[in-house]
Amino acid sequence: MSEKTFPLSKEQLEAVIAKYPTPFHIYDEKAIRNNIRKLQAAFSWAPKFQEHFAVKAAPNPRLIQVLAEEGAGSDCSSLPELLLSKAAGVVGEDIMLTSNDTPADEFQKAIELGAIINLDDISHIEYLDKHAGMPQCMSFRYNPGNLIEGNDIIGKPTEAKYGVTYDQIFEAYKLAQAKGVKRFGLHTMVISNERRTEGFIYTAKLMFNLAVEIKNKLGIELEFVNLGGGVGIPYRPEEEPVDLEAVGKGIQQAYNEILGTAGLTNIAIKMESGRAMTGPAGWLVSTVLHEKKTYKDYIGLDSCMANLMRPALYGAYHHITISGKENALCDHIYDVTGSLCENNDKFAIDRKLPKIDIGDRIIIHDAGAHGHAMGFNYNGKLRSAELLLHEDGSVELIRRAETNEDYFATLTGFDGAIM
């Protein structure tokens, strides 16, 4: 079971809302630090372990900075994410650029920052060399095809646009060597929101065996194996969290049996978890504006899927509680909705909840990753603020809410007149 709690009492929350109106995302700094420390503890046996936080999960430099203070690097997929990492003080090989269909300016900035380049396709080697030059350290993203099932979020590897095949990967390393690259790693990312221990161990075994093959066939001793992210979280209260200790021990055994036997005992382990770092440490806080009774009972919020689109995009479950009614009987059934002109703009469908009143504060849990980050401006909706709750109880505004002026800022021909 996974207990769903919120770090602020009703009175504390109201004090925050008095200064920062809803809707907003709020993150718990202490929880984020605890999450990365648990991951690091699980891999403390490794010769070197580093978490490269997947910036796409929560692209805010203050959050990246908090994780960097705990030893994390960053995993970037775009030029703005590289700039966010730099703004947070993450530079050099603490950055990995793991993009796909990558334009030249992203490669150029990554080279300028001294980042590790993680290539997604064999054809990118020539493109990278032509437009940006070769990096000091490079890895390739491996797509194992039918060797791994994948899952609903990331898809089957054979259907995925990501990565190079088994046959291509050996040629890729040879081509990079010919262009002067001397330091290499290996990467994969084939699962997302996975909670099964055996899934992580199987992936590790696959990658460790491939690392041995690369050594035997090409004479390349890899500096690191990046096992990707994909560490899931228990979105539903009845779900169990990932047993990181068991995952770490299982991967340690595979490391010793496969890499140890081959004499490759200096290979570092990297991961690029995003969801597991900030997901359960973030909440979307909204206020109830309306109750509608037609064929169903609807609760309308001041937020919408522009603030959290996972339920609409994936049919994803996010737990909901009402501030001050956490222990009340869930004896009502509601659809909890936003105001977009789309019928899938629903945070919950036929959800059992306590009786909800106009003005109640709705807490949507596990929204700290792929929540605010996936926001958009459809219907002219403005993106909400982000707050960081510090360990001393103070609250910091780490992203202000968008304004109408922001929405019109990129338009031309209006002379700035919007009202």
- Is 223 annotated to bind a ligand? Reply is no
- Is 73 annotated to bind a ligand? Reply is no
- Is 310 annotated to bind a ligand? Reply is yes
* Residue 155 burial (C-beta neighbours within 10 Å; 0-12, 13-18, 19+): middle
- Is 286 annotated to bind a ligand? Reply is no
- Is 314 annotated to bind a ligand? Reply is yes
Q: What is the set of active-site residues? A: 341
- Is 273 annotated to bind a ligand? Reply is yes
- Is 69 annotated to bind a ligand? Reply is no
Which among 286, 371, 311, 383 has a CA at the least distance from the CA of 27? Answer: 371
Specify binding-site residues for substrate: 275, 310, 314, 342
Specify binding-site residues: 230, 272-275, 310, 314, 342
